[in-house]
Amino acid sequence: MLSSARPFSGRKAILAAAAAASLLVTAGCSDSGSDDASGDSDVITIGFALSQSGNMAPFDVEPGNAAMLRIKEINDDGGVDGKQIKTVTKDVRSDPDTVGTAATELVADGIDLLVTPCDFDLSAPGAAVAQAASVPSVSICAGDPKMADTTTLGDYVFSANAGSDVEGATGAAWADAQGWSSAYLLQDESIEYTKSAGRYFEAEFEELGGEVVGNDAFPGGDNVNISSQVSRIKGLATKPDFIYVASWNPGGATAIRQLREGGIDVPIVGPAALDGQVLLDIVGDSASDVYYTGFACYVYCTGADSAELDAFVTDYQAEYDSEPASSYALLGYTMVSAIANALEGADSLDGADVKAALESAGPVSTPIGEVQYFSETCHKIIDMPLSVVEVDQGAMKFVGQQQVDGIPDIGDENACAS
Amino acid sequence: MILEFLISAVGLGALYALLTIGVALLFGVLGLMNFAYGEIILAGAFAMYLFRDQPWLVALLMAIVFAVVVALLSERLAFHPLRNADPVTLMIASFAVSLAIQSLARMTVLPRTRGVAPEDFLAHRVDLLGADVSVLDLLTLALCGTMLVAVAWMMGRTSLGIQLRAAAEDFQMASSLGVRANLVIPSAFVTVGVLAAVGSAVLVARQGAVSADMGLQPMLIGVVGAVLGGMSSLKGAALGGFLLGAATALLESLLPTDLIAFRDAFLFSALIAVLVVRPQGLLSGAKVRVS
């Protein structure tokens, strides 16, 4: 027993030593690498901690690509105040633990600004690391209002999106403009984004004089089965004018499909996370009267007739050999425009100065119009013009743009509420 | 209203029973807790996506082909060389197979979720004894029910079934009495492939979405259902899966709106309660087979 164990453990020790040695070597390499990143003040270094894989990848990959595209354009045009933008990327694999580690490494590399994933739950660990180091972090498109609240995660945390509160309120405003007065709220309970979309939809719709005649919930996620919810809606004494489905893809698209298959034919309205080719594929050719408040109408959606959007799609396709599959891609592109716009007036690249520059920058021109990004109290977009898109028998059509000036205060300490 | 609920609850129960049997069969025959089961379902679902423009039956046949091929390949490449290894090694190997297939799918054909449009004939609604039910619900019930009956018939009435059951009871004894491992084990994998394919066809018809990690939840349902019913008994596993599905449907319709988000918490609390009283599962003998 002993004699047979010895050579084995000896070999193990050699292996361990070899492994330790190789670790030392790689550690040495990355040390020398980080000197390059922090030492040069003529470049702006932006760290990207996004998911290239996992369940959040569909929301991160394309906005990340679009951001890189915009950075390339800016660099080709001579950079920001003559400074080139340099990027460092790490794959966080849709895992909150990895986000924290990636952010720690990027901050240690000396980045000037951190870009975190398109979701509050995933961004939070990364944003917390950056906050502790006084490095501003911008979520590429997280929609939960807490992402932009200067007290939840900290005052160095921003989100380059309007947020699900604005999306919910905008959906309510649009429905009200259609003359619809009674709503039914079908709430997906799976993530913070969907919960706040539902809450703010309800608050805004009631503020505008509408009535939410009933609500129901489903757990959401990958495995959606809402047959009981469907029979409860069918059992209502009076049909609501429309149903607001506060959900996200693909579960939300499945819920809409099951509503239609269940024989419920009233209009359906939903937030931007339903956007994309996959909604069209899941609900199929027979579904119609489905609306959502997206960020743009392009590629799989017709009728927006915008030369700037077409140019974005053409450039994106030229760079990545495929068209964007959802309008989230545009958010990455416009985020870089907003950051570059802000940094043009920055005193230095110190964390505090970059933060001040982001808060005080004026509106920036984007393919969907002028957008005011951040202010001192609200670290996200409020008056974003959202594109209402209609799903009609296998096609997506641009209905119009809808905007809200403010969002209702529902007592959840949302600093962006009016 | 009651009838509609019954059809949907029994349909979900039958689907879950189908998923559960796939897990329990391999556990019985091989002592293999197959975590790669979800990826066999993924293979079938991917075929449903690939052949979505073909007639539904063609897509279903292709799903069976895809799932059986993946099941057999995983047996040949991963589990065959480990045939005499202990159950823990097999379980770890199945994790590896699961991750490998999932990553491969994500890198090649399914980098993001794909949608499969509903079939017109499945979305059709019919009037049944005064209740308004969808063809999909009826088909789920019919398809899963037929599969369950077919498996029961195969296990009880055919020579292969008897060999499978003998192997599940005591593999060593069975092989010394002439049951050929090289026949029994691959046929168990083929059966699992067919069950997974039918399950995947129903799942895709209900969800409309196909993604690389879609197998995780059905696999968990299978494992939990099998534990509930009793791992060493196929009948028990089917019952466990059925109860899990029916209880899910019941909770969905009885829970107040505020509590629906916690549906699974209620479900699994009930499961824990059952396991406290009967740790060996509902229909298992007193002796729990460990390997």
Q: What is the pTM of this model?
A: 0.84
User: CA-to-CA distance for A146 and A157, rounded, in angstroms?
Assistant: 10
What integer pLDDT is reported at residue A13 of this predicted model? Answer: 44
**A155: distance to nearest CA of chain B, Å?**
32
Which chain B positions have a beta carbon within 8 Å of A285's beta carbon? 117
Rounded CA separation A230/B159 (Å): 46
User: pLDDT, tens digit, for every residue of B2-38?
Assistant: 888 888 889 899 999 999 999 988 888 778 889 999 9
| Residue among A248, A256, A277, A281 with most chain B CBs within 10 A, to mutate | A281
DSSP 8-state symbol, B155: H
Alpha-carbon distance of A159 to A171, in angstroms, equals: 20
Give chain B positions within 8 Å (CB) of A284. Answer: 117-118, 123, 208
- Chain B CA closest to residue A283: B117
8 A C-beta contact, residue A30 and residue A90: no
Which residue from A53, A219, A325 is facing B263, i.e. has the nearest CB?
Answer: A219
Query: How far is Cα B232 from Cα B75, in angstroms, rounded to an integer?
Result: 21
Q: For residues B226 and B217, what is the distance between their CA atoms, to the nearest angstrom?
A: 14
Name the least confident of A127-136, A153-162, A407-416. A407-416
Cβ-based interface (< 8 Å): residues of B facing A: 1, 4-5, 8, 12, 106, 111-118, 120, 122-123, 125, 132, 134, 136-137, 206-209, 211, 213-214, 216-218, 248-249, 252-253, 257-258, 260-261, 263-264
Q: Is B112–A58 a contact, with Cβ atoms under 8 angstroms apart? A: yes
Average pLDDT value for residue range B219-239: 88
Residue type, A86: K
Determine the straight-line distance between the first and last CA of chain A, rounded to whole angstroms.
Answer: 76
Among A223, A233, A322, A323, most B C-beta atoms within 10 A, so best to mutate, is A223
Residue among A189, A282, A284 whose CB faces B209 most closely = A282
Backbone φ, ψ for residue A300 (5° rounding): -90, 0
Tallying the residues shown for chain B, one arrives at: 291
User: What is the crossing angle of helices A57-76 and A328-343, to 10°?
Assistant: 40
A25 vs A387, which has greater pLDDT? A387
Q: How far is A59 from chain B (nearest CA, A)?
A: 10
Nearest CA in chain A to B249: A228
Interchain CB distance below 8 Å, A228 and B253: yes
Indicate the average pLDDT of chain A.
Answer: 87
Q: Residue written as tokens 């000197």?
A: A35
Interchain proximity A227–B213, CB inside 8 Å: no
- Coil, strand or helix at B109: coil
pLDDT at A264: 92
Q: Taking residues A374-395, report their average pLDDT.
A: 92
Interchain CB distance below 8 Å, A279 and B5: no
| pLDDT given at position A1 | 34
Average of per-residue pLDDT across B43-52: 95
Q: Would you list the domain boundaries of chain A?
A: 164-303+384-402
Break chain B into its structural domains and give their ranges: 2-215
Closest by CA position to A272, among listed A248, A250, A255: A248
- Residue B258: list chain A partners with CB under 8 A: 217
Closest CA of chain A from B168, distance in Å: 32
For residue B218, give the chain A residue with the closest CA.
A223
* Reported confidence tier of residue B243, pLDDT bands at 50, 70, 90: very high
What single DSSP character describes residue B77?
I
Neighbouring residues of B48: CB distance < 8 A, sequence distance ≥ 6: B59, B60, B62, B63, B116, B200, B201, B204, B205, B210
AA identity, residue A89: T
In the predicted model, what is the mean pLDDT of residues B79-92? 88
Least Cα distance to A258 among A240, A234, A238 occurs for: A234
User: Would you tell me the crossing angle of helices B234-254 and B263-277 to the nearest 10 degrees?
Assistant: 140
Contact A189 B1 (CB under 8 A): no
- Please answer yes or no on whether B111 and A57 come within 8 Å at the CB atom: yes
Beta bridge partners of A187: A217, A246
pLDDT at A40: 53
A288 Cβ neighbours under 8 A, 6+ residues apart? A391, A392, A393
Residue B86 above 90 pLDDT? Answer: no
Is B199 in contact with B15 (CB distance < 8 Å)?
Answer: yes
What residue in B sits closest to A249 (Cα-Cα)? B113
Report percent pLDDT > 90 for chain A.
Answer: 68
The secondary structure of A95-122 as a DSSP string is -HHHHHHHHHHHHHTT-SEEEE-SSHHH
Alpha-carbon gap, residue A366 to A44, rounded angstroms: 22
Q: Per mean pLDDT, which of A258-262, B62-66, B263-267, B275-279 is the most reliable?
A: B62-66
Contact B260 A218 (CB under 8 A): yes
Average pLDDT for A247-252: 92
Q: What is the DSSP letter of A83?
A: B
**Roughly how many angstroms between the first and final C-alpha of chain B, as a whole number?**
46
For the CA atoms of A178, A180, A181, A186, the dihedral, rounded to the nearest 10 degrees, stands at -120
Which residues are paired to A401 by β-bridges? A387
pLDDT > 70: percent of chain A = 90
Close Cβ partners of A4 (under 8 Å, ≥ 6 residues apart)? none
pLDDT number for residue B285: 55
Centroid of chain to Cα A54 = 15
Q: Which residues in chain B are contacts of A393 at CB distance < 8 A?
A: none
- Closest by Cβ to B209, choosing from A216, A253, A260: A253
Q: Do A281 and B260 touch (CB under 8 A)?
A: no
pLDDT digits (tens, 9 = 90+) for A19-61: 444 444 444 444 433 334 444 568 999 999 999 887 788 889 9
Using CA atoms, how far apart are residues B207 and B200, in angstroms rounded to an integer? 10
Cβ neighbours of residue B32 closer than 8 Å, sequence gap 6 or more: B26, B79, B87, B90, B91, B94
What pLDDT, on a 0 to 100 scale, did the predictor assign at position A350? 92
Quick check: B208 and A283 CB within 8 A? yes
Q: What is the pLDDT of residue A192?
A: 85
pLDDT band at B283 (very low <50, low <70, confident <90, very high): confident
pLDDT above 50 for B103: yes
Q: Among partner residues A55, A217, A278, which is closest to B260 by beta-carbon distance? A: A217
Contact B207 A53 (CB under 8 A): no
The interface pTM score, or ipTM, of the predicted complex is 0.85
Rounded to 5 degrees, φ, ψ at A291 are -125, 145
Distance from CA of A95 to the nearest CA of B (A): 14
Q: Is CATH 3.40.50.2300 the classification given to domain A164-303+384-402?
A: yes
Q: Are A47 and A68 in contact (CB under 8 A)?
A: no
Q: Which residues contact A145 (CB under 8 A, 6 or more apart)?
A: A163, A164, A165, A196, A200, A380, A412, A414, A416
A interface test, pick of B257, B262, B264, B266 with most A CB neighbours within 10 Å: B257
Say whether pLDDT at A373 is over 90: yes
Check CB contact under 8 Å for A222 and B211.
Answer: yes
Q: Tell whether the model's pLDDT for residue B113 goes beyond 90.
A: no
Residue type, B25: L
Angle B2-30/B159-169 helices, nearest 10 degrees? 70
Is pLDDT above 70 for A17?
Answer: no
Q: State residue A33's pLDDT score.
A: 38
State yes or no: cis peptide before A250, omega within 30 of 0.
yes
Q: What is the pLDDT of residue B156?
A: 86
pLDDT for residue B290 is more than 70: no
Across the interface, of A54, A231, A281, the residue whose CB is closest to B117 is A281
Whether A228 sits inside 8 A of B116 (CB atoms) is: no
Residues A383, A165: contact at Cβ < 8 Å?
Answer: no
Residues of A in contact with B211 (CB under 8 A): 55, 222, 250
Nearest-Cα distance to chain B for A228, in Å, is 5
Which residues of A are less than 8 Å from B268 in CB distance? none
Helices A307-320 and A328-343 cross at an angle (nearest 10°) of 100
